[in-house]
Structure 1
Amino acid sequence: MSTSAPAAPALATLDWGRTGYADAWSRQEELVARRNAGEAGDTLVFTEHDPVYTLGVRKGAEEHLIWDEAELTRRGIAVCKTNRGGDITYHGPGQIVGYPIINLASRKDLHAYLRLLEQILINTVGTFGLAAARREGKTGIWLGPRKIAAIGVAVKKWTTYHGFALNVDADLAPFTGIVPCGITDGTVTSLAAELGSAPSAEEVKRVLALEFSTLLPRFFAGL
Structure 2
Amino acid sequence: MRIVDLGLIGYAEAEALQLKTLEAVTAGREENTLFLLEHPKVITLGRQGGAENLHLDEAQLKAHNIELARTARGGNITCHFPGQLVAYPIWRVEKRPGGMRKFFHDMEQAVMDTCAHYGVSTIRRPKHPGVWVDETRKICSMGIGVRRWVTYHGLALNVARDVSLFNAITLCGIQGAVPTSLSAEAGRDIDIKDVKNVFGKAFAETFADSAVAADQAP
**TM-score normalised per structure 1:** 0.90
Match of 1:174 in 2: 165
Match of 1:184 in 2: 175
Aligned residues: 210
Q: Take 2:33 and 2:13, find their aligned partners in 1: how far apart are those partners?
A: 17
Q: Take 1:73 and 1:196, find their aligned partners in 2: how far apart are those partners?
A: 33
Q: Take 2:117 and 2:15, find their aligned partners in 1: how far apart are those partners?
A: 29
Q: Which amino acid aligns with 2:44?
A: T
Secondary structure at 2:144 match in 1: strand
Match of 2:40 in 1: 50
**TM-score normalised per structure 2:** 0.92
Match among 134, 138, 159 for residue 128 of structure 2: 138
Match among 91, 103, 116 for residue 106 of structure 2: 116
Structure 1 gap ranges (5+): 1-10
Pairwise CA distance, 1:112? 1.2
Task: List structure 1 runs of 4+ shifted beyond 6 angstroms.
Answer: none
Pairwise CA distance, 1:171? 2.6
Match among 52, 67, 71 for residue 82 of structure 1: 71
The percent identity for this pair of structures is 37
1:111-159 superposed Cα distances (whole Å, 9 cap, x missing partner): 1111111111111101100111111221111011210000000111111
Pairwise CA distance, 1:220? 6.5
Secondary structure at 1:102 match in 2: strand
Aligned residues of 2:159 and 2:183 also touching (Cα < 8 A): yes
Instruction: State yes or no: 1:198 paired with 2:173.
Output: no
Pairwise CA distance, 1:219? 5.1
1:187-211 superposed Cα distances (whole Å, 9 cap, x missing partner): 0001121122232112111111111
Pairwise CA distance, 1:170? 5.4
Aligned residues of 2:32 and 2:211 also touching (Cα < 8 A): no
Structure 2 gap ranges (5+): 213-218
Q: Take 1:170 and 1:106, find their aligned partners in 2: how far apart are those partners?
A: 39
Q: Take 2:161 and 2:145, find their aligned partners in 1: how far apart are those partners?
A: 25
Cα RMSD between the aligned structures?
1.5
Match among 148, 154, 164 for residue 163 of structure 1: 154
1:55-74 superposed Cα distances (whole Å, 9 cap, x missing partner): 0001x411011111121112
